[in-house]
Structure 1
């Protein structure tokens, strides 16, 4: 597969993923807003913080390093060894599930069973759901490596929707089941997710024409299972060593990613009700990050990993590949900056209205609006960090990955300390401030790596972080106008005033996007080009 084709596939993967996720997320958004009106803050806190943390920690520690290692490098590999390596995630997941389950049951504060019943069952079933999901890991990596565009998005989105539908049904009909509801829904979600990949692969491999056209490394479903051969090692030890390097990094990254939940869970700085409000705001604030930034990061990580060779500097690689990578990186940085700034500027004036529409007074009163406004700034940093680390992790050598682990260790330690101090000082907003500080440090590290990587080449991809003065002025003006509009029109003055406030924001947003279209011509050309390649790829498939 040529690099232009790889770029087209990555663009197709990102754009298709974005459109499909927007559709499915809207459905899930409505279902979750409905469910929130029937739950207590304490139940939301236990499910979304305590139990979800158990599940996500088990999943992350068991598979993240394997995913990064097995998606890196050349396509010319012994896939049987790679698949054998991926199956090791299952026993590793069982180990983490048992260990963390014991911690959650024996060492952490147990909620009042009269307020949140069936906590022990919830811990067991959430741990089991993590192990079930790991059974689909070889299928997921094979699909990603061969860029099956819609499979991942459809499988994950449909699983999430079905989980939300089941949760809503159980909340309405058997609300006394407590955590049984969410535990069964979570187990159902992982089962549907894994079965989606398995069924797709079975049907694909039964079609000889599709298998030949896609040049898959396996011809029957049994070849995806672990296999032992006397002629070769069970696993590729180079991939195993890279996995270990990424594992050390992923352990630290998990602390940074879920750090506030660890502080809430192990240090009890917030009660279960406050944890619930914070988590709902956090999920709502990160919705755009999951919709837009995550598909772009995952898709273009594969692109950079395929185009660039890890152990070579930019000057020792094919210059057309380096030029293409630099152009793509510059455009992605510009896109991330524009998207993040738009969310920050307009999110400040519309946070309270959004929370009131989503969860009612439980979210729009108290600390909710302040949390949401703070999170809008954090989204800007998330956007930039997603792109910079996407390139950095794809281009780093194994030794550089190991050295980066020490930086992550320092960041993890400082984040936990800073989260505890800031939360003690200013409540749940302290978590977001600590996240902003650490995200800024991570961005700085990645920018330094990118600068060094391209310093001996004529390319300057970091120019993507510069905006025209006219566009910056329009952003500032829009921020001022919408803030005044919020003060006079929102949010206790009824729906006519709210609609007027929304209209003001829509006009300002239109002017901002129009200015961006006029001033950022290079980015517009890149987006048009990639959309054209995506459509062409769709026609070919």
Structure 2
């Protein structure tokens, strides 16, 4: 498959995933807004911080490295070995769930059972749900590797919606269940998610459609662990790459979920404040999950398939390198524009959004300040998502091992890289603790901005070195025309003044006028972008704007 065909599949995966996720996330958004009005801040804090951290840590440590390694291989591979390697995530997940469950029950502060009942059972069921989700890992990787456009989005979105409906029903009819409500709903979510993949492949395998997709398996039993007639049980190249990613992901998880670890283990915020912070954090990251995550996941597959890990840009097929550079430049520009839009317009509409979403529990106190700070963080998230998806798709195993030292010219050994990442993780946790003690929950967002800045710098160093001997300069996507930048600044100033006079204690007529001002400024800014960023508009039209691509891109 040529690079342009792969680009077409990645573009369709991103655009279709985006549209479906917007639809399903809007339904979930309404359900969550309804549920929040019936919960205490303490229960929200325990569920969304403490128990969700247990679940995410278990799944991340058990599968993240396997995903990255097994999605990086080309079409010519022994899929039975790859599937055998992926099934190792299940026993690994069991071990992590048992260990982390013991930590959560024995070493952490247990909440007051009168305020948050059934905490112990909540820990058990959240750990079990993580293991259940890992059962579907071979199906997930096979679907991603063959770019099934709608399966992942429909499966995840349907599971989330059914979970939210179940929570809403139980909160209304059985509120005394406490954490049983959220624990059973989480287990139900993972079961539905895995069943969606199993049912899909059950119907697909053996049908004419499976021949069209050139699947490497022909029946369901081929997806189960099996001993090959010849060769090793697993592909040792993939296994070694998995170990390299695991050493990196272990510390990356601390950087990704650092604020939750600080809240959970150091008790810098009470459970109620944790609930407010996490709700604002989820609302602020909504756009990142809707737009940036599908793009990052889809184009990681594109870059991994088009570029060869073991070769420099000058030693690869130049057509593939040129297409990858053009796509990277356009994605960087798109991420920059989306992030700046959220940053400049989010400042003036944070309080109104929180009041609509969660009422006075969120719109009063620290909520608006948190969301305004998060808008700046979203800009960094957008850029980091694009740069890292290229970086980890293009790195060789050796470069993954020695990434930081190689990128910044401070050494090449893994020990140096490991020590550097350990230093970064430790400094991030210390910075989060100190800033939170100094300025409250906003300190977490400031520390996250620092963390994201470091990661972006690493990726930019790699991209610059990767293309420095070639005629391509994809980092030009981070440059913005002065006219468009001026439009952003002017719109931010106008909407800030509008908030002072029209929102948010002036009643709904004034609020609607404030929204109208923002809509006018947003339209003017987007119009300016349309006139100044012609290269990006051409990319969106040719690659994302039509169902089937012609394969031409200038």
Give the shorter-chain TM-score range: over 0.9
Q: Structure 1 pair 536/530, CA: closer, same or farther in 2 (3 Å)? A: closer
Structure 2 partner of 1:131: 131
**Match in the other structure for 1:470:** 483
Per-residue CA deviation, residues 103-140 of structure 1 (Å, 9 max, x unaligned), is: 00000000000000000000000000000000000000
Where 1:535 maps in the other structure, the secondary structure is coil
Q: CA deviation at 1:413?
A: 1.3
Summarize the alignment of residues 63-462 of structure 1 with structure 2, pairs less than 5 Å apart: 63-207=63-207, 209-404=208-403, 405-406=417-418, 407-462=420-475
Aligned to 1:54: 54
Question: Which of 471, 488, 509 is 2:522 aligned to?
Answer: 509
**Deviation string for 1:191-225 (max 9, x for gaps)?**
00000000000000031x11211110000000000
- Give the secondary-structure state (helix, strand or coil) at the position aligned to 2:548: helix
Deviation at 1:400? 1.2
Alpha-carbon distance in 1 for matches of 2:9, 2:119: 44
- Structure 1, residues 343-380: CA drift from partner, whole Å, max 9, x if none? 00000000000000000000000000000000000000
2:45 matched residue in structure 1: 45
- Alignment partners' CA distance in 1, 2:547 and 2:253: 33
2:543 to 527, 530, 533: 530
Matched-pair contact (CA < 8 Å) for 1:42–1:116: yes
Runs in 1 of length 4+ with deviation above 4 angstroms? none
Unmatched 5+ residue regions in structure 2?
A: 404-416
Q: Deviations over 1:399-433 (max 9, x none)?
A: 11112353433321111010001001000000000
- The whole-number CA distance in structure 1 between the counterparts of 2:394 and 2:337 is 25
CA distance in 2, matches of 1:481, 1:394: 41
Structure 2: distance between partners of 1:533 and 1:491: 41
Deviations 1:143-188 (A, max 9, x none): 0000000000000000000000000000000000000000000000
Number of aligned residues: 536
User: Does the aligned pair in 2 maintain the 1:73–1:309 contact within 8 Å?
Assistant: no
**Which of 471, 488, 498 matches 2:501?**
488
> Does the 8 Å CA contact 1:9/1:534 hold for their aligned counterparts?
no
Change (3 A) 1:175 1:27: same
CA positional deviation for 1:532: 4.9
Mapped to 2, the partners of 1:495 and 1:210 lie a distance apart of 53
User: 1:98 & 1:433 partners in 2: Cα distance?
Assistant: 33
Deviation at 1:438, TM superposition (A): 1.1
RMSD of aligned alpha carbons? 0.9
Counterparts of 1:267 and 1:119 in 2: how far apart (Å)? 19
TM-score normalised according to structure 2 size: 0.96
Whether contact under 8 Å (1:167, 1:181) holds in the other structure is yes
Query: Which whole-Å CA distance do the structure 2 matches of 1:361 and 1:533 have between them?
Result: 43
TM-score when scaled to structure 1? 0.98
- CA contact under 8 A between 1:28 and 1:164: conserved in structure 2? yes
Deviation at 1:533, TM superposition (A): 5.5
Query: Distance in 2 between the 1:73 and 1:448 partners?
Result: 24
Contact 2:543 2:549 in 1 (8 A): no
Paired with 1:495 and 1:533, the residues of 2 have a C-alpha distance of 39
